[in-house]
Amino acid sequence: MVPADFTELPADHALERQDRPGAFAPTYIHDQWYVAARLSELRRGRPRQLCICGQAIEFIRLEAGSVEARTANGGQSLPCEVSEDLVWVFLASADGADTLPIPVPVFGGPGGRIRFMEKVVLPAHQDDAVYGLLDPAHTPFVHRSPIWRGSGVLKEKTKSFEPDDMGFTMMPHAPVNSDIYNLIGGAITVRIYFRLPGLRAEYIQNSKHTVLGLTALTPVDAERTVLRQIFYWDTPILSLVRPFASLIARPFLEQDVNIMKLRSQNKGFGGKGMLVGDSDRQFLWYLQLKKAWAEAGGCPKTFSNPLEPATLRWRT
Ligand SMILES: [Fe+2]
């Protein structure tokens, strides 16, 4: 049954290619910082070429722990910073090569050092990857595992949101019981912040400790997007279980990869996307933010966050 409250995907959220229906023409978000790599992925004296937003970029790690970035063809130097153990590169729009970069996003990960990271390549345009990131209702259907969920009963969730800088925040709330929260212990609150270009930070806190789960999306090209699931924490107990973290994180992310494969196959068959009620509202907000950022020419002084505070309800 199709719920009454649904929205057709806006036609302009990504442009379909004429030559290959179902394939997207590149519509990247410019004038933003993208995660290029974890610092340890770059070795001194070994320049590394990465494709980001369809552009080949060479990264050179220097002695002082800083990193230089330049376009592989032409050698134009690009703003590049190391922050919170990550290498960030700023991609200006083609016509705005002189744009001054906005400050690099800082999420306040405890200790500033990555404790755990998993990386997958989603076979998806960035918009679809963001859709997967912001769709709260897919979890019980896509992420099935005897380890982390078993009840099979859908419960109604109500969450409050507020516009926040270049994105929005799901206000702090007490989460439902889960193993990771029980491991940290105490009275837990969870706050989730999403911002352009595709960064989602989940803060899990008790009175003493913080765990930050940062999901960073970086488009490789129009059909592939790297998803990095990064954790920072200051809880000794999580360091003890870290050797087993991949056993949970890996299958979880591979389930996201699989559902993206199915989504792209569906598009190949001419399937049309459809957005359903409150559970897809966050993705619509992303599209609104993306549009407003492009209309502001990537200038933070001109940009004004188009969102309003809202309370959303869905079942997971
Ligand atoms: Fe997922």
What spacing in Å lies between the alpha carbon of 251 and ligand 1's midpoint?
Answer: 11
Q: Where are the beta strands (DSSP E) in the chain?
A: 6-8, 15-16, 24-25, 32-38, 48-52, 55-61, 67-71, 77-78, 80-83, 86-91, 116-122, 156-164, 167-173, 189-195, 199-205, 210-221, 224-233, 274-276, 310-315
* CA 102–ligand 1 middle distance (angstroms): 29
Q: Please give the distance, rounded to the nearest whole angstrom, from the Cα atom of residue 82 to the centre of ligand 1.
A: 28
Distance from the alpha carbon of residue 258 to the mean position of ligand 1, in angstroms: 10
* pTM (2 d.p.): 0.89
d(CA 257, ligand 1 centre) in Å = 9
CA 20 to ligand 1 centroid distance, Å: 27
With a CB cutoff of 8 Å and minimum separation 6, the contacts of 229 are: 117, 118, 119, 213, 214, 215, 249, 253
9 Cα: distance to centroid of ligand 1 (angstroms): 20
**Tens-digit pLDDT string for the chain (316 aa):** 333 345 555 544 544 444 555 554 558 999 999 999 999 999 998 999 999 999 999 999 998 889 999 998 878 999 999 999 999 999 998 665 566 789 999 999 998 999 999 999 999 999 999 999 998 888 888 887 766 555 667 888 899 999 999 999 999 998 876 777 777 888 899 999 999 999 999 999 998 999 999 999 999 998 899 999 999 999 888 888 888 888 888 988 999 999 888 887 776 666 666 788 888 999 999 999 999 999 998 899 999 999 999 999 988 8
**What pLDDT shows up at residue 3?**
39
**pLDDT value for 26:** 56
Query: Can you give the length of the chain in residues?
Result: 316
Domains of the chain: 6-23+107-315 (3.30.530.20)
- Cα 54 to averaged position of ligand 1 atoms, centre (Å): 24
Q: Report CA(36)–ligand 1 centroid distance (Å).
A: 21
75 CA to centre of ligand 1 in angstroms: 37
